[in-house]
Structure 1
């Protein structure tokens, strides 16, 4: 067996030779075929935009004549064939609209019809139009006439943008791809690409050679953003390859593709060997190039390794690519050692529910699960719609003795596997695939007597602590009751006094003092982080040594930050909001609730919080490195304080990933609204973490924009539509990210710096140098001597300028922005010159401003909201 499928390169112009009927080809300068009009061999019709052409052709090496649609200006590539099963043997054929109104192809030798659109309609007055998306349409002969037939519903081997591949589950009608039989024979080959409508759906390629109907390849499950089996479609972004299911209504399910850059063509091509290629037109090379391909790895073939085994995508040779899951062994060890893995693996130990023998003390524990990351999930899952979170999903799997694995994907729901785990693949690429939880007998997870003994010891210790705590609380209650005699001294009042979060009714009463004992706790159990603690004021005071000056890390418009240490030794950074910060209880609660529900390596982690008396306190993970602005705006060139370019580039990518998570990958859709360099913290490994969610807003996943009368944020980072009209959306954060990106590249603030050439701000200065092809002059001069990544700097500036365009519709999404940053083969659009300025005069402080409604902005510009020396 070959180690790889040979992918045939059909991008060369000689792949398709258009044989002409005479020495000069006659083309109709129209895109329409009318009644009583014949298109003979040698004549063509052309779409209105001169993109596609319909006419007769012969494939490479063949004398047979076919009618097809081809890209006129992009290598003459054929994208659709009409009479693929009945070619003409000479040039006597012609096209016309027949007497019944259908488009037909006629053999001129005997006037027989060899192909017809075969549409059913009552009116025979029709026309045929070739449009600029490559779709041939048969419709009524009037401007708003009904459409009776289109070539997009009958594709061959090419999937064009906007073309839909899928199934109408009510009628059973399918729109599928089908390969050519060979390079010179466009008749239907042995491979068919279709959509499996089972929830969640996926794309399949079937091998129908020799009368078989076997799965040849599958894309992996559709998770709402990407297919889990396509490595280049990672969780963060689809790399310009977008898929939608907007027509998943009334039983219809279709997928379609879109071009990343609409001015350049893109297509998916299935070759005669059943391999898919995603092709883009390369303007410089003037040829089709592969953006991505499948069936170029052993693991791409369906069920290469058999049941209950994992195929490793980093092993691209036909040896040692398969491993049994933990707890499983090869079904036939001799065949397995020979490289025949189709028999797969079998389980070594029965699940507890499968055991009929008497249960001993060693067997009292339930089965458990082991986690696998970056997995193409197995085929044939069962979707449980009633299991609405990971814990319920796990419990449902445990209750079903046939369940061997489960996963919970936010955009899909709960999936369990009750059949064989088949076609499972492990990825080495970060951010690809999903989590998979494999069920194992508890002893295989380190169970048995040792765990039982540990459990018994834990019970004894817990009981002792509980009894001791109860006695202590009884003592404290008696002392408290004696002290508060006559002022409400019930047990309920005592319990309330132990908790430090005030009721909203008290909070809402502006200017009033917080009433003693007027508190409640906040419920983080639904979708939040159960690890978030509610601290008492005394806890924070002890941790920070009563906010000692030596523990002060920094301060800003919000207040101060202090280093603290909890009794368990964990270090924290305590954000102490000042009464003059402008951040009230609404912003405080907003930050607590949001951060508790967000978990990402590029977002700061909230440890706990407290509101008591007049204090509003947030406790974050402590990070020994400073905030980003301290590094990039510093003046030192020491290695300890200077971020080199590879690290800056990694920070840019990390920030982008964090914002993409907020916008599209988290359970909530979050608009940050105050993204800036001082709100980017750096952990011990210099990984960026986005902080300060006091201004953030939650969006519905179908919500695109919102309006506010209270404009909050920081001048210099605020988008024009938000600063001037209070309109904010995902594109507001994109603008802020663009400013941050340019600041990281240049080491200069957007404001507070006098730029040359009368540039009013950093984006204007960057655009002018980029337009003059002097982009590298923008690079932080402290990096010039050790710098060797000019293409990355140019790309970063280009992307930054796309993000800070004045019109929000011109800005890319954060997902597109991330794709442009991490992919070298994406063609970037031309940015428009930024004109907007709300910085104020360079060098002048703009601590705050007001909107038209007179509301004060929370953050300043030249004095950042957060100044932190270490976290």
Structure 2
């Protein structure tokens, strides 16, 4: 393996001859060297490359760094000589007589070194498949017994397998530090690491000032970061013992490319994944998400409230009294005022629920005794199913009308605000494919014509929510059990408890409180809390696949493979066998094969990985309505191999548990 040392003699000519052979070269020994402009070091899997580079377009300074090899040159994940650039192309990387990896300039002066005091008889430097550059003894093989490794000295990028935190035995604190600018890799003032004051937590700082904190580690997660939770994309872990305290993560799909980068310009930690289709890095989320995520942005004892979207709306400062006498006086006065108002109105219930009490819901009011009588005191025999709020019961009003009664449970994973949210939205929205507040359960067999009618009806109802209503609504929990059918088998979208209202020109938002149902949630929402009209489109695509195939997305099982329903549909599409997805009970003779094919095609367009690739609901309705409409070829879907958790159909994706929704079919009656 003398190829690299020959590079001193052969120059560029030798580089051209040996470039094909260099792909397999992932290590160097003391008898070899790597020069600027010569052969680079490439990991065994061909994903990472160690070499010389100049950042940006305005500098000629040279740095030694590691980057993703088959992606744009900007994807540098580690730099050796961040603070000591070489002013020309004279740099040479070698193993010196002490067994250290050294970078020298034209004067043979060391500008960077691993500087380890632990020697090795046969030192070797290797670029691992993880992107970790390691110095080890050749006799140790791949045992992990490294004398030095780049993962212990991260730059601005957090890679899968890295440890963010402390090694107490060595006194080593691994933390990320941003670049000073886009063309200067020198350490900036934006950092992210594990801090150990009290319980350990992840903290970002701008200089010495705290900028963002994850909240303390409580043994299960970070208390202030509900977005860091079990998910289909990556595994995470926090290790805390007498030797170490660190945070780490690993990508579940080993073939995927992921990086977390500290952005000095925006002061945010950004998560990127690589898209093979577009040959580019796709931003899938950032932290902090909004101004309310900034540390102490509202001051001491402040409570930050942010509305729909990413701009802060207002801050409420809550001043804490300091004397017990003053507290007692305020509480006593408040109690008498509250009691007087309660006596006047005859309502001793929960009056704490904000401005929504001022809403004129224009609904008929029922005495509780009427509801009790209608449902035979919420009899088990009248129970239709369970929802996120609690049980749903069949009832008969005194005038003979049959109704479904949704009762908020004390143990509900969704709260009173969400329950009121649903009532308010239903009363404000008027569309033939949106459920009203009187419904009845019936069951009928669905042939293809009925299924196609249901698909078209759901699409029109969702289009109304996104575009045509006086409010722009993101449903956030569209699934089979939230679509009701009347006696004519017309679909009605229901359950608006988790819906979000947007301003007229707003189409997306984000949240640190991810709610919904795994199996229907879009990738960007499940992993980063980013939701938009396109996340509803993803859920609609899943629902289409379920209607077409007659199979549930959650818990989908096939004896010949472990693919999810999305993955199975995608495989059949690529194998040009999409009709094998069709439910046999709906594909009787005379069925419209072109409609079936069109629905499968549209569903795969809706479940594409990237939100921008998915069609709008206006386009979906147009494609469903005309065979002449041209449709693009779908790209690979999101969650193609993941089936999601099977133990619950929870609409409250946190550590809380919610009941399972059952499918109901409803009958609409006029108000």
Matched-pair contact (CA < 8 Å) for 2:54–2:60: yes
Instruction: Tell me the CA shift for residue 351 of structure 1.
Output: 7.0
In 2, Cα distance between the equivalents of 1:59 and 1:456? 72
2:34 equivalent in structure 1: 39
Matched-pair contact (CA < 8 Å) for 1:217–1:300: yes
1:99 equivalent in structure 2: 97
2:4 equivalent in structure 1: none
The within-5 A match list for 1:449-464 is 449-451=337-339
Residue 73 (str. 1) matches residue 70 (str. 2): yes
Residue 58 (str. 1) matches residue 54 (str. 2): yes
Matched-pair contact (CA < 8 Å) for 2:456–2:621: no
Residues 33 and 634 from structure 1, CA distance in 2 versus in 1: closer, same or farther, beyond 3 angstroms?
A: closer
Residues 719 and 308 from structure 1, CA distance in 2 versus in 1: closer, same or farther, beyond 3 angstroms?
A: closer
In 2, Cα distance between the equivalents of 1:450 and 1:282? 58
Of 55-64 and 636-645, the range deviating more from structure 2: 636-645
Matched-pair contact (CA < 8 Å) for 2:448–2:591: no
Residue 784 (str. 1) matches residue 624 (str. 2): yes
The within-5 A match list for 1:819-838 is none
In 2, Cα distance between the equivalents of 1:738 and 1:37? 50
Instruction: Tell me the CA shift for residue 738 of structure 1.
Output: 9.6
2:586 equivalent in structure 1: 753
Instruction: Tell me the CA shift for residue 192 of structure 1.
Output: 1.8
Residues 70 and 782 from structure 1, CA distance in 2 versus in 1: closer, same or farther, beyond 3 angstroms?
A: closer
2:84 equivalent in structure 1: 86
Residue 686 (str. 1) matches residue 494 (str. 2): yes
1:244 equivalent in structure 2: 236
Residue 654 (str. 1) matches residue 477 (str. 2): yes
1:195 equivalent in structure 2: 194
SS in 2 for 1:162: coil
2:528 equivalent in structure 1: none
In 2, Cα distance between the equivalents of 1:658 and 1:197? 46
1:448 equivalent in structure 2: 336
Mark the runs of 5 or more structure 2 residues left unpaired by the alignment: 1-9, 347-369, 386-391, 420-435, 466-473, 498-549, 573-578, 608-618, 650-661
Residue 276 (str. 1) matches residue 269 (str. 2): yes
In 2, Cα distance between the equivalents of 1:139 and 1:64? 30
In 1, Cα distance between the equivalents of 2:305 and 2:314? 6
SS in 1 for 2:624: helix
SS in 2 for 1:625: coil
In 2, Cα distance between the equivalents of 1:153 and 1:82? 12
Residues 56 and 756 from structure 1, CA distance in 2 versus in 1: closer, same or farther, beyond 3 angstroms?
A: farther
SS in 1 for 2:625: helix
Matched-pair contact (CA < 8 Å) for 2:485–2:664: no
Matched-pair contact (CA < 8 Å) for 1:717–1:736: no
1:343 equivalent in structure 2: none
1:353 equivalent in structure 2: 324
Residue 215 (str. 1) matches residue 215 (str. 2): no
Larger Rg: 1
TM-score (norm 1): 0.45
2:395 equivalent in structure 1: 563
Instruction: Tell me the CA shift for residue 32 of structure 1.
Output: 0.7
Deviations 1:759-799 (A, max 9, x none): 9xx9xx879965999999xx99999339999999979x967
Matched-pair contact (CA < 8 Å) for 2:458–2:491: no
Instruction: Tell me the CA shift for residue 180 of structure 1.
Output: 2.0
Matched-pair contact (CA < 8 Å) for 1:226–1:234: no
In 1, Cα distance between the equivalents of 2:591 and 2:629? 29
Of 302-311 and 54-63, the range deviating more from structure 2: 302-311
Residues 870 and 151 from structure 1, CA distance in 2 versus in 1: closer, same or farther, beyond 3 angstroms?
A: same
Residue 643 (str. 1) matches residue 457 (str. 2): yes
In 1, Cα distance between the equivalents of 2:83 and 2:600? 58
SS in 2 for 1:156: coil
Residue 624 (str. 1) matches residue 438 (str. 2): yes
Deviations 1:430-471 (A, max 9, x none): xxxxxxxxxxxx72xxx325527969999xxxxxxxxxxxxx
- CA-atom RMSD in angstroms: 6.4
Residues 73 and 755 from structure 1, CA distance in 2 versus in 1: closer, same or farther, beyond 3 angstroms?
A: farther
1:307 equivalent in structure 2: 300
1:813 equivalent in structure 2: 644
Mark the runs of 5 or more structure 1 residues left unpaired by the alignment: 1-19, 329-345, 366-441, 459-538, 575-594, 606-621, 660-674, 690-714, 726-730, 803-809, 819-864
Instruction: Tell me the CA shift for residue 183 of structure 1.
Output: 3.1
Matched-pair contact (CA < 8 Å) for 1:625–1:684: no
Instruction: Tell me the CA shift for residue 138 of structure 1.
Output: 1.5
Residues 653 and 868 from structure 1, CA distance in 2 versus in 1: closer, same or farther, beyond 3 angstroms?
A: same
The within-5 A match list for 1:582-593 is none
2:529 equivalent in structure 1: none
Residues 108 and 248 from structure 1, CA distance in 2 versus in 1: closer, same or farther, beyond 3 angstroms?
A: same
Structure with more contact order per residue of length (Cα contacts < 8 Å, sep ≥ 6): 2
TM-score (norm 2): 0.56
The within-5 A match list for 1:406-805 is 443=334, 447-451=335-339, 563=395, 597-600=411-414, 624-626=438-440, 643-645=457-459, 647=461, 654=477, 686-687=494-495, 750=583, 752-754=585-587, 784-785=624-625, 802=640
Residue 324 (str. 1) matches residue 352 (str. 2): no
Instruction: Tell me the CA shift for residue 55 of structure 1.
Output: 1.8
Aligned length: 504
1:48 equivalent in structure 2: 44
In 1, Cα distance between the equivalents of 2:323 and 2:628? 59
Of 252-261 and 539-548, the range deviating more from structure 2: 539-548
In 2, Cα distance between the equivalents of 1:156 and 1:771? 43
SS in 1 for 2:413: coil
SS in 2 for 1:263: coil
Deviations 1:119-153 (A, max 9, x none): 34353322111122211112221334422221111
Instruction: Tell me the CA shift for residue 630 of structure 1.
Output: 5.8
